[in-house]
Structure 1
Amino acid sequence: MSPSNLLLVLLVLTTAGYYLGRRQAFAVSRVQGGPRCLHSRPVYYGSLTALWCAIPALVVFSLWLAFESSLITDLVIAGMPEEIQTLPADRLNLLVNDIRNLVYGNIVSMDISPQIRAAADHYTQLKGVSHMSLAVIVIVLAMGGILWVRKRIRPEFRARNHVETVIKYILIACSCIAILTTVGIVLSVLYEAIRFFKVIPIHEFLFGLEWSPQMAIRADQVGSSGAFGAIPVVLGTMLISAIAMAVAVPIGLMSAIYLSEYADRRFRAVAKPLLEILAGIPTVVYGFFAALIVAPLIRNAGAGIGLDISSESALAAGLVMGIMIIPFVSSLSDDVINAVPQSLRDGALGLGSTKSETIRHVVLPAALPGIVGGVLLAVSRAIGETMIVVMAAGLSANLTLNPLKTVTTVTVQIVTLLVGDQEFDSPKTLAAFALGLMLFIVTLILNVIALVVVRKYREQYE
């Protein structure tokens, strides 16, 4: 039985367990005078039966599939001749890949030897035995969980407490998975970045003024050691993000104020969905818009007044990126402003404040923590944007603050460095992880600043 079919069987058993547990609760309650004699409602008895049916089986299912491939591979290699088992690790990995390609029906680029054919057959046999064993164990666990809970259903059985306890531990496990995932991402990026800094000094990376990570093939070629100064890349990121935020924050905030404080319901019902359509447009469409319309328009306008503007510029990318980010700022700010208690507005108006004074001195300060959160989300979106920058700002890492010139960003360079078949031992590829670590630190600093601002004003207005 394949794992997907086994999951379907487990889903059917879980559903059946829910109804069996609920039915058993009703059957027990009839003897005692009705459902009122039960400690918990019948739905909790069914839910507990379903949980005990599904959770142990899913845990075994996940662990089994996690280790199945490596264990089968070890058994297949152990059954092959000794001269194959003593091959170097790289050649042995290639042999294992050929065996798996043959098992899964992929075309291999060499003639199939009898040894590989026999190993593939052995692999298929072990895989079939593994799937059958897994199906038996999972079904037995599921049915055992159903029978175990049904035998424990009594009027005094605290099913609700057990269900809530199980759900609490599930939520704790999900929280731990999220935290451990974050820690794993940070550690993996940090490990590769440390490998990079062993080759390239950290001061050269942080304070270097030239970015040219292309490594020459021969030592006598120009730039054979590469140039890994991150200042031009970081400066380009900040320049484009600043232009984008200069467009998105005022327009988004003003539109949120109008929609929440001045617009009537009919206009708001039409304007807000239309504004949020901008958030659903793919970034590649924004990139086309920037490259085909905005960039030529800026270049032609500059030529009309005697300015030399590049066909790809930070201004074009920043303007279009700002248009893309407007819905994030507007929607989040609108929700936060609407959440401000009406009593604050009524009090300010009762004391003689005008509507605009109420908005400036009462509503906006009270909503400032949420607005800062929305702006922070917009900044993170601007820093992490790639497609618009590639199509409208270019790939050249120029050390300039001129928005009319070609620049690049950290995310674009990460994508460029990791495109294609790359070796993860060269400084060129490892530089992508160093840039990723820098981007993570910058984002962390922005979060800390936002938390400080939010805490300061929240204490003032609570």
Structure 2
Amino acid sequence: MFLTLFGLILAIAVVCFYVGRNRAVAVSGANFSALHSLPSYHGWWLILMAAGPAFAVLVLWSIISPYVLRPLMLSQFAPQLAEFSAAQLDGFWRDIQAIAGGGTPGVRDAFREEAATAYQSVNRMSLTGMIALMLLLGAGGFYFAWNAIAVHFRARHKVEAAINVFLAASATVAILTTVGIVMSLLFESLRFFSMVNPIDFLFGTTWTPQQMAFRPDQVGGTAAFGFIPLLTGTLLITFIAMMVAAPLGILAAIYLSDYASPQVRAVGKPILELLAGIPTVVYGFFAALTVAPFIRNSGQAMGLDVSSESALAAGVVMGIMIVPFVSSLSDDVINAVPQSLRDGSAGLGATKSETIRRVVLPAALPGIVSALVLAVSRAMGETMIVVMAAGMAANLTINPLEAVTTITVQIGTLLTGDQEFDSPKTLAAFGLGLSLFVITLSLNLVALRVVNKYREQYD
């Protein structure tokens, strides 16, 4: 329904644009110089006043209606739901929504069928009221905007003011989203650390949260939430990945920017960037079916004990995956180095390779550092390749031939399935997320200092 109404509003907006434009042309007698604003601004003015309020109502209804309809439905069936837990209430709400929408619910019985029928009735009334409000505001806005169009009407000012408000709102949403992510991580992590000693978490060397029972009626063992094995595995795989991606990416960028012909560059750079568009699960298949067996067989041929899932396999494939992040950004930065620096070096008798090593690369260092930091963040956040090539065992080792796991893999493992966020086993995912956030933030701060230091030197 949302997409249908959005399509109708979009069609109405197109009509309003041409109606408003033609209205401006008519009131000016086709003398555009007499108008304060171009006819197109009058068309946008009519869109803002007619389609804008209707679209705002549609968006607000989509956001608010679940928070209004859910308490209403749960209160309507309060006696039957008195014994339900919070997780069961969530499941009940999803079931009646699925039944009402013609989907497949988790549980289907007479009670949920009755509730779904009631939900359909209430939702229909809500939808009818929303459409009526959209029509009322749209018609009123159209009438007001139509009458406001005149020769001296400042439509451009109105439209540009609305654009400024929209841009400010977009920036605010982005900022609030970042704040919301940080606050949700922080609050849930504080709940976790109220159950688990932060010292044991940060310096513990054993990670076995799976031994803890989720519910009181389950049998579980003694869980351990030591962060060190996950951090070690994450840094080990990231280090291997960067040992592959950094030299390959930077050397590829140097070749494409200074040595390759325009024809080779036009073909080589897009092909190299295609690596960034391959799904990570495909890299995972490649690592599990090709690279990992090759490393294991090669190691056994040399008398080494190589695990079937190893950090080396995951790191090598991950490095191949992030080569485009390094090469593409580094290539753009190297190309941005002024040609006058190259010409001055050549004028002093330096060869091309000496110019690149002693002039171009130092001048491009801030951008290259930024590319490497982005690649490190990408490597630390990868999950699928690690799951398929490095395994899920939390081993405290720096041997690249053994199986390890990473922070993101364990976050995904802990949050898989229908969980209740009231036990350390589940809340540990937020502690891991906060730790990973702090690590990546620290890396970015260090990189920012390096960038600022060398940027001042070459500006």
Q: Please give the TM-score of this superposition, normalised by the length of structure 1.
A: 0.91
- Which digits, 9 at most, give the CA deviation of each residue in 1:357-393, with x for residues without a partner? 2212222222222212211111111101111111111
Aligned match for 1:293, one of 284, 290, 295: 290
- After superposition, the CA RMSD in angstroms is 2.5
- Which digits, 9 at most, give the CA deviation of each residue in 1:154-204, with x for residues without a partner? 222222222221111111111111111111111112111111111110000
Partner of 2:42: 45
Partner of 2:190: 194
What amino acid does structure 1 have at the position aligned with 2:431? A
CA apart distance, 1:23: 0.9
In the alignment, the residues of structure 2 paired with residue 105 and residue 191 of structure 1 have an alpha-carbon distance, to the nearest angstrom, of: 37
Spell out the pairing of 1:250-265 with structure 2 (5 A cutoff): 250-265=247-262
- Which digits, 9 at most, give the CA deviation of each residue in 1:313-334, with x for residues without a partner? 1111111111111111111111
CA apart distance, 1:37: 1.6
In the alignment, the residues of structure 1 paired with residue 49 and residue 278 of structure 2 have an alpha-carbon distance, to the nearest angstrom, of: 44
Residues 26 and 374 from structure 1, CA distance in 2 versus in 1: closer, same or farther, beyond 3 angstroms?
A: same
- Count of aligned pairs between the two proteins: 455
Partner of 2:354: 357
Partner of 1:141: 137
* Corresponding position: 1:175 with 2:171: yes
Spell out the pairing of 1:40-79 with structure 2 (5 A cutoff): 40-76=37-73
* Corresponding position: 1:249 with 2:246: yes
The answer on whether the counterparts of 1:25 and 1:153 sit within 8 Å (CA) in structure 2 is yes
In the alignment, the residues of structure 1 paired with residue 92 and residue 309 of structure 2 have an alpha-carbon distance, to the nearest angstrom, of: 48
The answer on whether the counterparts of 1:394 and 1:407 sit within 8 Å (CA) in structure 2 is yes
- Which digits, 9 at most, give the CA deviation of each residue in 1:197-236, with x for residues without a partner? 11110000001111111234599x9983311110011011
What amino acid does structure 2 have at the position aligned with 1:53? A
In the alignment, the residues of structure 2 paired with residue 77 and residue 244 of structure 1 have an alpha-carbon distance, to the nearest angstrom, of: 51
Q: Please give the TM-score of this superposition, normalised by the length of structure 2.
A: 0.92
Give the 3-state SS of the residue equivalent to 1:211 in structure 2: coil
203-212 or 82-91, which moves further after superposition? 82-91
- Which digits, 9 at most, give the CA deviation of each residue in 1:80-139, with x for residues without a partner? 6x84586666576666556545433456746525xx666544432332222122112112
* Corresponding position: 1:399 with 2:369: no
The answer on whether the counterparts of 2:212 and 2:425 sit within 8 Å (CA) in structure 1 is no
Percent identical residues: 55
Residue segments in structure 2 that go unaligned for 5+ positions in a row? none
260-269 or 87-96, which moves further after superposition? 87-96
* Corresponding position: 1:131 with 2:127: yes
* Corresponding position: 1:9 with 2:17: no
Give the 3-state SS of the residue equivalent to 2:400 in structure 1: coil
What amino acid does structure 1 have at the position aligned with 2:195? V
Spell out the pairing of 1:78-157 with structure 2 (5 A cutoff): 83-84=79-80, 90=86, 99-105=96-102, 109=107, 111-112=109-110, 120-157=116-153
Partner of 1:226: 223
In the alignment, the residues of structure 2 paired with residue 14 and residue 153 of structure 1 have an alpha-carbon distance, to the nearest angstrom, of: 17
In the alignment, the residues of structure 2 paired with residue 13 and residue 286 of structure 1 have an alpha-carbon distance, to the nearest angstrom, of: 45
What amino acid does structure 1 have at the position aligned with 2:229? P
CA apart distance, 1:350: 2.3
CA apart distance, 1:270: 2.1
* Corresponding position: 1:415 with 2:398: no
In the alignment, the residues of structure 2 paired with residue 93 and residue 411 of structure 1 have an alpha-carbon distance, to the nearest angstrom, of: 26
In the alignment, the residues of structure 2 paired with residue 102 and residue 285 of structure 1 have an alpha-carbon distance, to the nearest angstrom, of: 35
In the alignment, the residues of structure 2 paired with residue 162 and residue 282 of structure 1 have an alpha-carbon distance, to the nearest angstrom, of: 45
Residue segments in structure 1 that go unaligned for 5+ positions in a row? none
In the alignment, the residues of structure 1 paired with residue 316 and residue 103 of structure 2 have an alpha-carbon distance, to the nearest angstrom, of: 47
What amino acid does structure 2 have at the position aligned with 1:14? A
In the alignment, the residues of structure 1 paired with residue 260 and residue 76 of structure 2 have an alpha-carbon distance, to the nearest angstrom, of: 76
Aligned match for 2:162, one of 150, 160, 166: 166
In the alignment, the residues of structure 1 paired with residue 81 and residue 264 of structure 2 have an alpha-carbon distance, to the nearest angstrom, of: 74
In the alignment, the residues of structure 2 paired with residue 136 and residue 263 of structure 1 have an alpha-carbon distance, to the nearest angstrom, of: 63
Aligned match for 1:284, one of 278, 281, 284: 281
Partner of 2:23: 24
The answer on whether the counterparts of 1:210 and 1:232 sit within 8 Å (CA) in structure 2 is yes
Residues 96 and 372 from structure 1, CA distance in 2 versus in 1: closer, same or farther, beyond 3 angstroms?
A: closer
